[in-house]
Amino acid sequence: MTSTTAVLETPVHAPTLPLVTVRDLRVAYDQHVVLDGVDLDVGPGETVALLGSSGSGKSTLMKGLTGFAPISRGTVRVAGHDVTDLPRGGLRALRSDVGQVFQQFHLVPRLSVLTNVLTGALHEAGAINVVGGFSRAHRVRAMELLDRVGIADKATEPARSLSGGQQQRVAIARALMQQPRVILADEPVASLDPRLAGSVLRLLRQIAAEDGIPVLVSLHVLPLALEHADRVVGLRHGRVLVDSPVAQADAAALADLYEEEDDAHDHDL
């Protein structure tokens, strides 16, 4: 009798596809070109720091990912949405899949911390819940998120009573409340002192790694990017000058991002 031995094969996993894909992106306002030929990939679990001086195009790139900037050339895909060819009603679906964290926290100061977090679920809860109250399941999730960001004890306090760092944590919990597939953080620590800035960026990176949600965060401070990101992408004059893992980032190329601009810009576009 011949015996046979089963051979266990190691499963072959398909490569992880990026959740943000940008190819040859050009954005222009009238005759003023802000982004030109930008390529970018951000994969699940990555924290990518977007660097560049004022006027480099960082904010415009963020806007392009959510349909707020006019795309004149190229393709942009975010969380499965083709931003360059959205169907009717597609903009709302895109933005419900993208959690956003801003320099200004955009909280409602007089409302409680818990209620501010709950507003992140409005896209699925429906308008009736604005006046009628959220479901128990939503409230449980909001409290879990506040615990995760370290301020569950502040749930019943008005948002205006919190420090800047605490308010940014509320904003992060609110973004997570919508169960995003991608998080965009546009200068989220610009108004915080270095200690608080580091704690907020550590939190964002932890969320990316644990939940597999890619985080694209624009920053002005290079040391913060090198400490708290997996990869750095640097823009200058609307073009990508640097795209490198932090460990392999070239110091000279990074310094070039912040050389005095030939053309004066009053603020980032």
pLDDT given for residue 46 in this prediction = 97
Render each residue's pLDDT in the chain as its tens digit; 269 residues. 444 444 444 444 445 789 999 999 999 998 899 999 999 999 999 999 999 998 899 999 999 999 999 999 999 999 999 999 888 888 889 999 999 999 899 999 999 999 999 999 987 655 544 545 688 999 999 999 999 999 999 999 999 999 999 999 999 999 999 999 999 999 999 999 988 999 999 999 999 999 999 999 999 889 999 999 999 999 999 999 999 999 999 988 898 888 754 444 444 45
How far is the C-alpha of 154 from the C-alpha of 168, rounded, in Å? 13
CATH 3.40.50.300 fits 18-97+182-262, yes or no: yes
Residue 236: name the closest of 34, 26, 22, 23 by CA.
Answer: 34
In the prediction, which pLDDT does 269 show? 55
On the 0-12 / 13-18 / 19+ scale of CB atoms within 10 A, 50 is: buried
pTM: 0.87
Contact between 217 and 172 under an 8 Å Cβ cutoff? The reply is no
Q: What is the pLDDT of residue 251?
A: 87
> How many Å apart are CA 19 and CA 65, to the nearest integer?
11
User: For the chain, what are the domain ranges?
Assistant: 18-97+182-262, 107-179
